[in-house]
Amino acid sequence: MENIKKNKILIVEDEPAMIRALTDNLESEGFEVLKARDGVEGLTMASAHHPDIILLDILMPIMDGLTMMQKLRNQDVWGKKVPIILLTNLSPDEDRIMRRITADEPAYYLVKTEWKLSDVIDKIKERLGRV
């Protein structure tokens, strides 16, 4: 029997329904899923487990996603390079958000109202080279 390493995905999201939907779909695709409900918990989980990719909400309590991403990028070599997909209801037209996304590459942006779960899974597979 082959021992295939599962790609590890960290979901940092404060909406329970969104966490459930993403977790169910990602696990059915064969991913290992870690979950955090705010940026502080997300930063701790990311540092401890070094996921292959992070799905990160921007608007969250305690620490928002952009702050978490900045802290992660300043933390170490792994933190500078880990791909992050930002999931949010905010429009990327806002200058502050676009500046942060381009400064903190590799980061990608998906507006929640404009995608389906299959789009998120496709983007994850693309970023991890599993297309």
pTM score: 0.82
77, 109, 130 from 15: Cα distances, Å? 30, 18, 27
Band the pLDDT of 59: cuts 50, 70, 90: confident
8-127 CATH choice from 3.30.70.890, 3.20.20.70, 3.40.50.2300, 3.30.460.20: 3.40.50.2300
Q: Which residues, at least 6 apart from 117, have a Cβ–Cβ distance to it below 8 Å?
A: 21, 22, 25
107-121 pLDDT, tens digit each: 665 666 667 778 888
| pLDDT of 2 above 50 | no
Domain extents for the chain?
8-127
Handedness of CA 93, 114, 84, 72 (dihedral sign): positive
Q: What is the predicted pLDDT for the residue at 107?
A: 61
